[in-house]
Amino acid sequence: MGTGNHSGASQFLLRGLSDDPALQPLLFGLFLSMYLVTVLGNLLIILAVSSDPHLHTPMYFFLSNLSFVDICVISTTVPKMLVNVEAQSKGISYTGCLTQVYFVMVFIGLDHFLLTLMAYDRFVAICHPLHYMVIMNPRACVLLVLMCWCIIFWVALVHVLLIMQMKFSTVTEIPHFFCELTKILKVTCSDTLIINIYLYVTSALLGLFPISGILYSYSQIISSLMKMSSSTSKYKAFSTCGSHLCVVSLFYGTGLGVYLSSAVTRSSEKSSVASVMYTVVTPMLNPFIYSMRNKDVKGALRKLVNRGVSCPLWVSGLSSL
């Protein structure tokens, strides 16, 4: 097997979740269904937030951004997998692989940041309600989101630039269903010391600060709730955090599962299945969590659906005139 740079390895081979031909139709149907449900669910959240004036608040602004990022996360990985399964091919071009690495890092990183911003929003709303509209004004919210985009854009770009300096075998097989950074580092022929150091430092910083921000926000929220004398006020205040806590638990729980599965087991299949939870299942469940546990979102979705049902009737009435 010859060794060369990326020009020699014009494409990589994605091993996928299973080599069993009998499972390919099942995997195709399952992942296609999950992809459509994820896109539809998150798109409904975005439309509900944008169409209902009562939801034009910082909390739902961050939620709509989270839904958009979730659509992008699953759209970066699953469509290529579906194409490969349908075409009975495992190939992905060198450029396509680096593109996947870049956008997966960007959108997963944005998930971290947005969940932190949502926790901070709840902290300000509960602990500093009189200053909420001053602190969380629309301009500040937009600037916070743009800052998150800028940070993760450059962090992911440096990772990709470092990968471009590496050499790969002429035929390189990646034991995953998409191009993940850690999997690529395991199959390169080059020394990975520099990129591993950069990976560990950025992962520590970009992981430590969001988690610390979430923990601090909720510690202050719990402290404020303990000082409230009315149980009704406590329940009302904490109920606004319920959906976010569920999403945070799901996101970091599945992320921890991916890390532990990679560290404990050498089985690429088990690691890939854990990544499915992180990159596919979590974006799919987020809109259900917010729509089922949040009365405002449920009300907005109901109005949106009713409007969609009545619109064709109104159009058909005009056409009959």
- Please answer whether residues 279 and 73 qualify as being in contact, where contact means their C-beta atoms are separated by less than 8 angstroms: yes
pLDDT for the residue 76:
93
Residue type, 304: L
CA 48 – CA 294 distance, rounded (Å):
13
CA 205 – CA 174 distance, rounded (Å):
27
CA 168 – CA 257 distance, rounded (Å):
29
CA 157 – CA 159 distance, rounded (Å):
5
Maximum alpha-carbon separation in the chain: 74
* Fold designation for 3-292: Rhopdopsin 7-helix transmembrane proteins (1.20.1070)
β-strands 172-174, 11-14: how paired? parallel
Tens of pLDDT, residue by residue over 56-100, are 899 999 999 999 999 999 999 999 989 888 888 888 888 888 999
User: Which among 132, 124, 127 is positioned nearest to 226, based on CA atoms?
Assistant: 127
User: Which among 76, 58, 210, 181 is positioned nearest to 124, based on CA atoms?
Assistant: 58
Q: Tell me the pTM.
A: 0.87
- Please answer whether residues 168 and 10 qualify as being in contact, where contact means their C-beta atoms are separated by less than 8 angstroms: no
pLDDT for the residue 318:
41
Instruction: Name residues whose C-beta falls within 8 Å of residue 26's C-beta, 6 or more positions apart in sequence.
Output: none
CA dihedral 50, 55, 56, 58 (to 10 degrees): -120
Which residue is it, tokens 């993940």? 180
| Cβ atoms within 10 Å, residue 192 | 15
Alpha carbon of residue 235 to chain centroid: 29
Rg (CA), the chain: 22
pLDDT for the residue 87:
82
CA 208 – CA 212 distance, rounded (Å):
6
CA 157 – CA 291 distance, rounded (Å):
35
pLDDT for the residue 119:
93
- The pairs formed by 55-61 with CB atoms below 8 angstroms and a separation of 24 or more are 55/296, 55/297, 55/300, 58/121, 58/136, 58/138, 58/141, 59/118, 59/121, 59/122, 59/125, 59/240, 60/296, 60/297, 61/138, 61/141
pLDDT for the residue 313:
46
Distances (CA, A) of 89 to 15, 34, 62, 93: 10, 21, 38, 12
pLDDT for the residue 233:
67
**Ramachandran bin of 16, using left for φ above 0, alpha for ψ from -120 to 50, beta for the remaining angles:** left
Q: How many alpha carbons fall within 13 Å on the CB side of residue 125? A: 18
| Cβ atoms within 10 Å, residue 117 | 26
pLDDT for the residue 144:
95
Q: What is the residue extent of each domain of the chain?
A: 3-292
Residue type, 22: A
Instruction: Calculate ∠ Cα 58-60-65, nearest 5°.
Output: 95
pLDDT for the residue 1:
38
Low-confidence ranges of the chain (pLDDT < 70): 1-10, 233, 257-271, 293, 308-321
